[in-house]
A = this chain, B = another copy of it.
Amino acid sequence: MDNIRRGNKQLIKELNRAILINTILNYGPVSRTRISEITDLGLSTVSNIVADLIKKELIYETGEEESSGGRRAILLEFNCNDRFVLGIKIGLDGIIIGLVNMKSKILDQHFIPSPVKSNEEIVLEVLIRAIRDLISKNHIKAEKILGCGIGVSGLVNQKEGTLVFSKILGWKQIRFKELLEKEFDFPIFVDKDVNVLTLTEKRFGVGKKINNFICITIGKGVGAGIVIKGDIYHGSYGGAGDFGHIIIDKDGPLCYCGKRGCLETFSSDQFIINKIKEALSNQQDTIIKDFLKKKEDLNSITVDTVLEAAQKGDVISKNIFQEVGKSLAIGIVSLVSLFDPELIVLGGEGVKAGELIFPTMRKVIRDNFPFKKEIKIVPLQPGEEGWIIGAAELVLSEVFKTPIFKSKGKVAIKSAFHW
């Protein structure tokens, strides 16, 4: 209540423009009359606002509809290629950068191999060059870029736009926002990679119309993006959704995070590798042996090695994935108890092993909720687009944010509703 703007003509104006633009985004191409019907705004009001928005080049007329017995309707469309957004995903393998239009369509994307194990300066240098290259290659004026969103693995301070710490990347304290904003004239937004992927699912994917859901990523680590009442939930200090570090075994083994019995100690890539190494050193019968050139070459084993073995029918390997499935299920059971979500989405590298993990996982979940009707669990198609679109969405969601709330402090980005 306290953070709501007072009512005056300015608010009405912005609000109705927001409603109108959103209607065109969702229903477009669409006529004035139809907009009036959908939004319940007066026809003259719609006409006036439309005229204003056309003048400002935010929308444009794009032909006529078939007649339905009278004058043909003039269709309106959002001018989504007038300005652009950059979406960046920083991963262990490298950086993916994409140019995205205002309707979240990827226009161009590039991959820059990893500058991992680098320090702040080098990472930033690579990013700056990548951004400049992308902009110039697409012949876009820099002032047409609305902003840049970055998704990165680790603990992120959203407000400061810094990566506080990332175990996987081996980085800490990288001031993306501050340093990139020095270089460019558009705002930078940073968030955890899981949250970025979750955002994509919320806006365009399986979570589109769902208010409360959780998107779990399985891979090097285990994380979760939490959507509550339609928004990503970050927690008070940005650390929410640390699904990999809930405790599923109170007297379990020590985790690198300092706790005991974390889910991640039973389900991450490292767990799989450790398990298979253990099996090998116990002389257990697994075809992984045949994969190794030298017998001692244990360090060359990756999750993909084990996955391949399991897919070829190796029992030991299959069992390991099943065990991962069981542990994930235990974690999900707790998630469901706490969040009671409508949907759980599974993403990340780990879905590649889905066939091996999910059946056990689903079974354990079912067994644990005998009185509850089946919980909707949907695996995601792997791919890079999700990350880019989500990162770009960090910017777009700000641009198209409902103009009802007071903006405290200096405004990071100008809302589309008073361009």
Contacts and interface: CB of A to CB of B under 8 A. Distances in A.
Interface of A: 1-2, 4, 6-9, 11-16, 18-19, 22, 39-41, 210-212, 224, 226, 228-229, 231, 233-243, 245-251, 257-260, 266, 326-327, 330, 333-335, 337-342, 368-371, 400, 402, 404
Given A6-B16, A340-B240, A342-B236, A368 B251 contact: no
Given A249-B251, A368-B258, A337 B212 contact: no
Given A1-B18, A22-B2, A245 B8 contact: no
A340 to B, nearest CB: 3
A240 B338 contact: yes
A327 B370 CA distance: 24
12 contacts: A4-B19, A4-B404, A8-B12, A212-B236, A224-B338, A235-B341, A240-B340, A242-B340, A246-B246, A247-B330, A260-B368, A334-B334
A22 B2 CA distance: 8
A371 B258 contact: yes
A240 B18 contact: no
Contacts of A237: 340, 342
Contacts of A340: 234-240, 242
State how many copies of this chain the complex holds: 2
Q: Which are the 10 A-B pairs with shortest beta-carbon distances?
A: A235-B340, A7-B12, A7-B15, A246-B334, A239-B340, A236-B342, A242-B337, A240-B340, A258-B370, A259-B368
A337 B6 contact: no
Contact of A246 (B7, B19, B259, B338): B338
Contacts of A39: 6
A254 to B, nearest CB: 11
A1 B22 contact: yes
Given A233-B228, A258-B368, A368-B258, A338 B337 contact: no
Nearest to A244: B337
Contact of A250 (B211, B226, B327): B327
A335 B338 CA distance: 9
Contacts of A334: 246-247, 334
A243 B337 CA distance: 7
Contacts of A233: 228-229, 339
Nearest to A266: B250
B236 A341 contact: yes
Nearest to A238: B340
B13 A7 contact: yes
A4 B235 contact: no
A8 B41 CA distance: 9
A356 to B, nearest CB: 19
A242 to B, nearest CB: 4
Nearest to A23: B2
Given A233-B228, A236-B212, A247-B330, A41 B6 contact: yes
A302 to B, nearest CB: 26
A311 B371 CA distance: 40
Given A1-B400, A247-B248, A249-B251, 20 more contacts: A1-B19, A6-B39, A6-B41, A7-B12, A7-B13, A7-B14, A226-B338, A228-B228, A229-B229, A235-B340, A235-B341, A236-B341, A241-B338, A242-B340, A246-B334, A249-B249, A257-B371, A258-B368, A260-B368, A334-B334
